[in-house]
Amino acid sequence: MEASGEPGRQWQEEVAAVVVVGSCMTDLVSLTSRLPKTGETIHGHKFFIGFGGKGANQCVQAARLGAKTSMVCKVGKDSFGNDYIENLKQNDISTEFAYQTQDAATGTASIIVNNEVKTVFNPAPAIANLDPRFYTLSDVFCCNETEAEILTGLTVSSPADAGKAAQVLLERGCKVVIVTLGAEGCVMLSQTEPVPKHIPTEKVKAVDTTGAGDSFVGALAFYLAYYPNLSLEEMLKRANFIAAVSVQAAGTQSSYPYKKDLPLDLF
Ligand SMILES: Nc1ncnc2c1ncn2[C@@H]1O[C@H](COP(=O)(O)OP(=O)(O)O)[C@@H](O)[C@H]1O
Ligand SMILES: *[C@@H]1O[C@H](CO)[C@@H](O)[C@H](O)[C@H]1NC(C)=O
Ligand SMILES: *[C@@H]1O[C@H](CO)[C@@H](O)[C@H](O)[C@H]1NC(C)=O
């Protein structure tokens, strides 16, 4: 067997720099002119199957930027599960800890763990009474506007609001809090710099913003693992840029850029 010929295998003897614990979901997407009423059957004009799941999305984005990644997940022992494992391999992600089970997969949160060094926690979907240990145990707590609202009970619709919500989350014990704001970029706050800072992003023509947050978190994990000397602000500027590229194409993983398609000054 050729050691280099088989995607996925080559990482198994190497240490992954970005390890993602989270969901792998198969998206069954039907395009219809409207939603069916209860019990109604309607015609769709297009159907496709996509690879999704917030954990896997983040892992794929980090891998496409060049990170050595490993996905810790469980998929079904069925054709969708087999296809998903193959998709991870195609993206050069180690599947050493990608398990298959007869039981239905469950998943409520996705966590990125960069072993030993830094943990990034993405509370998706968010619940109001999140176990307080998630705040104290994560190095970087990254959520979007909706999640920040659910977690804090505050309204978040501007960078200033996001800063206030981030301060509440910081007080719960996070070392760094990032709130993403769609086309407004993100807001950051840390124990060492507790004044909220807004990091705007470029104006782009958004085609499909699905999975932008996962592209952003995957890119951030890549920079934390491979460019630890960059300031957090610089990492977030670059993650904003990469996520903005992803919103300019349709689909979730299909819109995530590879290193080769990005400006050299990002690396
Ligand atoms: N319309 C947009 N234009 C440019 N960048 C965007 C746009 N939407 C999202 N982004 C980028 O993606 C990141 C995450 O988007 P956001 O919508 O907050 O997350 P989620 O996908 O979790 O809802 C933003 O911080 C930004 O960098
Ligand atoms: C934030 O993420 C959640 C998933 O946790 C999603 O349902 C929601 O639409 C996102 N919010 C925004 C503003 O994109
Ligand atoms: C990061 O900075 C430290 C101290 O300034 C330096 O020793 C190290 O080589 C740098 N690492 C990288 C990857 O640039």
pLDDT of residue 27: 81
SS3 call for 245:
helix
Q: How many residues does the chain have?
A: 267
Question: How many whole angstroms from 58 Cα to the centroid of ligand 3?
Answer: 26
Q: Does the beta carbon of 145 lie inside 6 Å of ligand 2?
A: yes
Tokens of 140: 């970087």
Say what the pLDDT of residue 67 is: 97
Cα 175 to Cα 42, 148, 166, 169, 236: the distances in Å are 50, 16, 11, 10, 16
SS3 (DSSP) at 192:
coil
Rama region for 8: left / alpha / beta (φ>0; ψ in -120 to 50; rest): left
Q: What integer pLDDT is reported at residue 146 of this predicted model? A: 95
What residues are annotated to the active site? 214
Ligand 1, residues at Cβ distance < 6 Å:
144, 180-183, 185-186, 201, 204, 206, 209, 212-213, 216, 240, 243-244, 247
CA-nearest residue for atom 10, ligand 2, is: 146
* Cα of 171 from ligand 3 centre, angstroms: 31
pLDDT in tens, the chain (267 residues): 233 444 554 544 578 999 999 889 888 777 777 777 778 887 777 777 788 899 999 999 999 999 999 999 999 888 888 999 999 999 999 999 999 988 765 433 334 444 856 889 998 888 888 888 889 988 999 999 999 999 999 999 999 999 999 999 999 999 999 999 999 999 999 999 999 999 999 999 999 998 999 999 999 999 999 999 999 999 999 999 999 999 999 989 999 999 999 999 999
Residue 179 in contact with ligand 2 by CB distance below 6 A: no
Q: Are 120 and 138 in contact (CB under 8 A)?
A: yes
What per-residue confidence (pLDDT) applies to 105?
Answer: 53
**Which residue, by CA, sits nearest to atom 9 of ligand 2?**
146
Element (H, E) at 37: none
Q: Which atom of ligand 2 is nearest to the CA of 145?
A: 13
Return the residue whose CA atom lies nearest to atom 12 of ligand 2: 146
List the one residue out of 66, 83, 67 whose CA is nearest residue 24: 83
Mutate to test the pocket of ligand 2, among 54, 58, 146, 215 (most ligand atoms within 8 A of CB): 146
